[in-house]
């Protein structure tokens, strides 16, 4: 009995140290969520149609920073011919930047300076963090840990909005709530949480680096054996024609990798824009508002709850199946809300829409990680990150900032129903495109996903044996359709 307990404890310790770097990297997404929550709240609080460049300056700076770090990481991989593990030092740099940025939120009128540094850290953390998780995880844990990272991101968002949201509303002369003037001390509570979390995460990152130095943990350990071997021998970035030449049994179909990647990036940008739009709409529109403006955090906690459920769903289902199922549920809930909310004084279906927003929040972002080309992963992560910044800025500028916007702020039933129909059409198209074009990646290694997208099928039990000598005369057997799509 004692031996069994000892063995269980030993296995637990081994697993703990094996996945310790992954869990730490997931935790680093918490400050990213805090920054996003700050952005959402500050844009609502400082709503101003005549906002100048300074309002968008932090996001522009973050986009520039993201491009630089993604380009540098791409060039290093291009020159070295393999993946170089410098993710933890980059995350340490982001941790120091978060610690520095948090101090600016304590002072009046200094939050904008802090936001510039925060978005610098956000950019480093987002691209390096996703790159690390993409590289090190194996087929069973990849989607689960990525879902956990985005769940932690939404936890930070909800926590930030909880601290800021109750501070920025004040009654005007008519007794209505206004958000046109920001009171002093708006971000002090947020700054305290941001500072505390930055200190903890920076300490954990330093501890991880020390443990890695002494060999207790391995921050360069790739759990996918095939991926690790290919990275070691320099074949990880082989071109499609080189893969075809070295495989003995194969069929070749159409190369779909870049088509699928662009489809996922495009649909993810649309889905994220819808998420930002409806978060603002449910707060600002008087005809559809779910909560008082100073209680907006309740909405984000529901979204976070949905993302937590998504982590469990990733254990049993593929990203594709989960996303399409969520979109179908969102379509049904939208129809119900259009019927019920127009006749009964209830907003319950809209709360469920927020829950399913949380469920589908990370799905396409995980797909980008799984289907991206090994050589260009960081650049593709940057495109995804840039799309998020552009979506947030454009939704704010064209809808939120202008309080006279006849479409966004209209409270008559016909306009609200029109928005519901538009959302139904967009959601249905997104679900259809993902369902048709994106392959199922559940419990598949990165190379299995890549070969599937490249159209190289070489599983011996699926095809007739075919010797590679047929390639010598230039003839390659093909099939017209991809069985996995």
Classify each residue of 327-365 as buried b or exposed e, where b means 16 or more C-beta atoms within 10 Å of its C-beta: bebbbebbeebbebbeeeeebebbbbbbbbbbbbbbbbb
- Which one is predicted more confidently, 325 or 338? 325
Per mean pLDDT, which range of 22-36, 85-99, 454-468 is the poorest?
A: 454-468
Predicted local distance difference test score (pLDDT) of residue 247: 65
Predicted local distance difference test score (pLDDT) of residue 175: 44
Average pLDDT score over the chain: 83
- Cα dist. 219→128, 137, 200, 216, 265 in Å? 13, 11, 19, 10, 29
State pLDDT tens for residues 224-251: 888 888 888 878 888 887 777 766 556 6
State pLDDT tens for residues 48-89: 545 556 678 899 999 999 999 999 999 998 888 888 888 999
Cα–Cα distance for residue pair 1/397, rounded to 1 Å: 66
Can you point out the beta strands (E) in 141-256? 170-171, 177-178, 251-252
Residue 396: pLDDT band with limits 50, 70, 90: confident
Q: Which helix (H) or strand (E) holds 456?
A: strand 456-457
Percentage with pLDDT > 90 across the chain: 36
Q: Is 481 helix (H, G, I), strand (E, B) or coil?
A: coil
State pLDDT tens for residues 252-268: 778 888 899 999 999 99
221 closest CA partner among 93, 370, 83? 83
Cα–Cα distance for residue pair 455/276, rounded to 1 Å: 36
Residue 204: pLDDT band with limits 50, 70, 90: very high
* Average pLDDT over every residue of 292-298: 77
State pLDDT tens for residues 339-382: 887 677 778 888 999 999 999 999 999 999 999 988 899 999 99
440 closest CA partner among 349, 325, 319, 353? 319
Predicted local distance difference test score (pLDDT) of residue 294: 67
- Helical H runs in 341-376? 348-360, 363-371
Predicted local distance difference test score (pLDDT) of residue 174: 43
Predicted local distance difference test score (pLDDT) of residue 11: 79
Whether residue 281 is predicted with pLDDT greater than 70 in this model: the reply is yes
Q: Is 171 helix (H, G, I), strand (E, B) or coil?
A: strand
* Average pLDDT over every residue of 398-423: 81
240 closest CA partner among 17, 458, 21, 473? 458
- Cα dist. 187→141, 157, 393 in Å? 37, 14, 21
Sign of CA dihedral 418, 421, 427, 433: negative
Residue 185: pLDDT band with limits 50, 70, 90: low
Domains of the chain, earliest start first: 2-452 (1.20.1250.20)
Cα–Cα distance for residue pair 137/44, rounded to 1 Å: 38
Predicted local distance difference test score (pLDDT) of residue 50: 54
Q: Which helix (H) or strand (E) holds 440?
A: none
Whether residue 182 is predicted with pLDDT greater than 60 in this model: the reply is no
State pLDDT tens for residues 118-165: 999 999 999 999 999 999 988 888 999 999 999 999 999 999 988 886
State pLDDT tens for residues 105-119: 888 778 888 899 999
Predicted local distance difference test score (pLDDT) of residue 465: 41
Name the pTM for this structure: 0.88
| HEC secondary structure over 302-324 | HHHHHHHHHHHHHHHCCHHHHHH
């Amino acid at each position: 009995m004692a031996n069994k307990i000892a063995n269980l404890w030993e296995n637990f310790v081994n697993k703990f140290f094996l996945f310790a770097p992954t869990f730490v990297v997931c935790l680093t997404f918490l400050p990213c969520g805090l920054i996003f929550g700050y952005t959402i709240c500050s844009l609502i609080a400082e709503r101003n149609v005549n906002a100048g460049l300074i309002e968008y300056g932090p996001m522009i700076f973050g986009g520039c920073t993201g491009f630089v770090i993604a380009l540098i990481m791409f060039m290093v991989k291009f020159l070295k011919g393999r993946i170089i593990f410098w993710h933890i030092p980059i995350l340490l740099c982001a941790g120091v930047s978060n610690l520095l940025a948090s101090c600016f939120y304590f002072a009046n009128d200094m939050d904008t300076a802090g936001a510039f540094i925060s978005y610098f850290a956000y950019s480093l953390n987002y691209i390096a963090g996703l790159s690390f998780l993409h590289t090190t995880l194996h087929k069973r844990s990849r989607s689960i840990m990525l879902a956990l990272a985005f769940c932690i991101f939404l936890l930070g968002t909800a926590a930030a909005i909880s601290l800021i949201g109750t501070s920025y509303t004040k009654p005007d002369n008519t007794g209505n709530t206004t958000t046109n003037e920001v009171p002093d001390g708006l971000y002090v509570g947020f700054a305290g949480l941001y500072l505390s979390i930055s200190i903890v995460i920076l300490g954990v990152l330093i501890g991880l680096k020390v443990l890695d130095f002494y060999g207790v943990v391995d921050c360069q350990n790739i759990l996918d054996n095939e991926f690790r071997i290919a990275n070691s021998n320099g074949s990880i970035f082989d071109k499609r024609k080189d893969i075809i030449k070295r495989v003995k049994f194969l069929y070749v179909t159409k190369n779909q990798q870049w088509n699928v990647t662009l489809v996922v990036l495009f649909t993810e940008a649309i889905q994220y824009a819808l998420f930002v739009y409806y978060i603002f709409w449910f707060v600002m529109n008087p005809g559809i508002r779910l909560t008082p403006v100073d209680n907006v955090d309740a909405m984000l906690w529901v979204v976070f709850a949905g993302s937590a459920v998504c982590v469990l769903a990733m254990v049993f289902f593929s990203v594709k199946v989960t996303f399409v199922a969520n979109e179908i549920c969102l379509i049904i809930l939208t129809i119900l809300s259009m019927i019920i909310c127009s006749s009964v004084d209830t907003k319950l279906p809209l709360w469920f829409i927020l829950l399913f927003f949380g469920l589908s929040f990370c799905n396409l972002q995980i797909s980008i990680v799984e289907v991206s080309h090994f050589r260009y992963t960081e650049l593709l992560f940057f495109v995804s990150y840039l799309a998020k910044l552009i979506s947030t800025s454009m939704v704010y500028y064209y809808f939120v900032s202008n309080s006279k916007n006849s479409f966004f702020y209209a409270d008559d039933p016909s306009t609200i129903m029109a928005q519901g129909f538009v959302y139904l059409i967009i959601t249905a198209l997104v679900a259809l495109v993902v369902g048709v074009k994106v392959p199922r990646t559940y419990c598949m290694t990165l190379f299995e996903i890549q070969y599937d997208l490249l159209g190289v099928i070489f599983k011996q039990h699926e095809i007739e044996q075919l010797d590679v000598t047929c390639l010598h005369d230039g003839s390659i057997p093909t099939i017209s359709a991809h069985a996995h799509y």
